[in-house]
């Protein structure tokens, strides 16, 4: 049994915890894997983690709030658990890193059902297992209103090799993995029919997005990318981040942007969703023109969508060759 949660039991049980919190701790206690990087002393006053020699630490933290990042009537609990971990793992993938350990802090309303908590933990832990990373600690509290999760993912990279956003240079080509717009399409569908749930299998990119860990790691190991970011806020926003950090501009071709297929029957999403919808967790990267980039890496299709310019502007080029300013319109756009 991981000593951290053992400690939680001693600390918390005995006080008047809501039953959900007891259930949570007990579920974590029985299911959390220690993970290969977690030293035996885990979770004493702090967790103790081992890094490979000569590596640096990557750290990312993400809040997931009910009503902002999910709705209980839209996403099943398993999906909420999966998605809040996927966000952090995707950040590690975008640095070319290897996940080392995850920490989950949860504030839960006293009225929350044990079934929901169990579902959440199932989704969370299944993705952790799949990503070969252990849950090494966290915190719990009673929330006065709504569910709140704060997920911390620690990763590692050999010192000096993290793939940053700031390395894009004029003439570099811009590549994108997978397809875009699938996650935003689900949000749009659900906004249109407030009481109807979608089938996760028809919109898997939304309900169970796959962080591109193997892809990011290969890109970093082979030194393919000059800059990299994950698509969490939407292509228009995330490409703007690369340009901003690199002091560059970009041109991308509308017809080169891979559109996701969603729903039943399957249909392609509109370009608008692929440009501005977020949470697809694909990787966007730039590479020098002379660097050969294979059409698939780690089994994921790679698309050439444009190139970096000196202009400091981001242009979308349509079929007829006309260019339009592409303004960052991240996923928050869809919440309005």
By CB under 8 A, the residues from 112 to 141 that bind a second copy are 136-141
* 44 to 48, 133, 134, 158: CA distances (angstroms): 8, 19, 16, 28
Tell me phi and psi for residue 258, to 5 degrees.
-75, 120
Identified binder of a second copy from the candidate list 123, 155, 209, 211, rule CB under 8 A: 155
Nearest alpha carbon to residue 92 among 281, 237, 277: 281
Per rule CB under 8 A, is residue 107 in the interface with a second copy? yes
Contact predicate 98/157, CB 8 Å: yes
The mark string for 191-230 relative to a second copy (x by CB under 8 A, - otherwise) is -------------------------------------xxx
159 binds a second copy (CB under 8 A): yes
Nearer to a second copy, 155 or 258 (CB): 155
Task: Please state, in angstroms and rounded to a whole number, the distance separating the CA atoms of residues 246 and 71.
Answer: 36
State the nearest-atom distance from the C-beta of 125 to a second copy, in Å: 18
Q: How far is the CB of 151 from a second copy (least distance, A)?
A: 10
* 75 contacts 83 by C-beta, under 8 angstroms: yes
Site for a second copy in 28-47 (CB under 8 A): 39, 41, 44-47
Q: Cβ-count burial of 284 within 10 angstroms (0-12 exposed, 13-18 middle, 19+ buried)?
A: buried
Min dist CB 261 to a second copy, Å, is: 27
Closest approach, Cβ 74 to a second copy, in A, equals 17
Chain positions 270 to 289 lying near a second copy, rule: CB under 8 A, are none
Minimum Å distance from CB 153 to a second copy? 8
- Minimum Å gap between C-beta 98 and a second copy is 12
Instruction: Tell which one of 22, 50, 291, 313 touches a second copy (CB under 8 A).
Output: 50
Q: Which of 22, 142, 171, 304 binds a second copy (CB under 8 A)?
A: 142
The rounded distance, in Å, linking the Cα atoms of 205 and 220 is 24
Tokens for 109, please give them. Answer: 């309303």
Member of 25, 28, 77, 101 binding a second copy (CB under 8 A): 101
Per rule CB under 8 A, count of chain residues that contact a second copy: 78
* 255 binds a second copy, rule: CB under 8 A: no
Question: What would the two tokens of residue 227 be?
Answer: 């800059």
Determine, following the binding rule CB under 8 A, whether residue 332 of this chain makes contact with a second copy: yes
Positions 223 through 252 that interact with a second copy (CB under 8 A): 228-230, 233, 237, 240-241, 244-245
Q: Contact region for a second copy (CB under 8 A) — 1-9, 122-130, 194-202, 255-263?
A: 1-9
For residue 18, state whether it binds a second copy (rule: CB under 8 A).
no
In whole angstroms, how close is the CB of 2 to a second copy at the nearest point?
Answer: 12
Which three-class secondary structure state does DSSP give residue 209?
coil
Q: Which of 160, 197, 179, 172 is nearest to 288 (CA)?
A: 172
Tell me how far apart the alpha carbons of residues 148 and 86 are, in angstroms, rounded to a whole number: 16
Contact yes or no for 80/67 (Cβ under 8 A): no
The answer to whether the Cα torsion of 117, 192, 235, 328 is positive or negative is: negative
Residues between 52 and 81 with contacts to a second copy, criterion CB under 8 A: 53-54, 56-63, 65, 67-68
Which residues fall within 8 angstroms of residue 275, CB to CB, at 6 or more apart?
180, 234, 235, 236, 257, 316, 326, 329
CB of 255 to a second copy, least distance (A): 27
Sign of CA dihedral 122, 128, 129, 130: positive
Joined together, the tokens standing for residue 38 give 């977690």
d(CA 184, CA 276): 8
Interface stretch with a second copy, choices 72-80, 96-104, 116-124, 171-179 (CB under 8 A)? 96-104
The residues in 291-330 that bind a second copy, with binding defined as CB under 8 A, are: 328, 330
């Amino acid at each position: 049994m991981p000593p951290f949660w053992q400690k939680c039991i001693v600390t918390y049980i005995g006080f008047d915890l809501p039953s959900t919190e007891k259930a949570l701790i007990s579920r974590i206690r029985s299911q959390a894997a220690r993970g290969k990087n977690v030293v035996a002393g885990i979770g004493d006053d702090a967790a103790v983690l081992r890094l490979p020699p000569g590596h640096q630490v990557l750290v990312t933290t993400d809040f997931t709030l009910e009503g902002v990042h999910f709705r209980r009537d839209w996403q099943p609990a398993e999906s909420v658990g999966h998605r809040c971990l996927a966000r952090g793992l995707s950040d590690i993938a975008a640095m070319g890193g290897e996940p080392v350990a995850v920490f989950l802090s949860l504030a839960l309303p006293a009225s929350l059902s044990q079934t929901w908590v169990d579902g959440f933990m199932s989704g969370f832990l299944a993705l952790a297992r799949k990503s070969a990373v252990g849950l090494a600690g966290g915190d719990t509290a009673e929330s006065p209103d709504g569910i709140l999760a704060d997920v911390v993912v620690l990763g590692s990279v050999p010192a000096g090799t993290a793939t940053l956003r700031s390395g894009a240079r004029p003439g570099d080509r811009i590549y994108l993995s997978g397809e875009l717009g699938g996650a935003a399409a689900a949000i749009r569908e659900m906004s249109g029919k407030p009481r109807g749930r979608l089938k996760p299998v028809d919109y898997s990119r939304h309900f169970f997005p796959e962080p591109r860990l193997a892809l990011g790691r290969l890109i970093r190991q082979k030194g393919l990318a000059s800059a990299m970011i994950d698509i969490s806020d939407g292509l228009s926003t995330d490409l703007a981040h690369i340009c901003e950090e690199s002091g560059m501009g970009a041109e991308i071709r509308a017809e080169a942007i891979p559109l996701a297929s969603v729903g039943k029957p399957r249909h392609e999403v509109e370009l608008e969703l692929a440009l501005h919808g977020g949470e697809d967790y694909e990787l966007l990267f730039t590479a020098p023109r002379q660097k050969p980039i294979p059409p698939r890496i780690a089994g994921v299709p790679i698309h050439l969508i444009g190139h970096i310019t000196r202009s400091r502007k981001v242009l979308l080029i349509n079929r007829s060759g006309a260019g339009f300013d592409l303004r960052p319109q991240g996923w928050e756009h869809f919440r309005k």
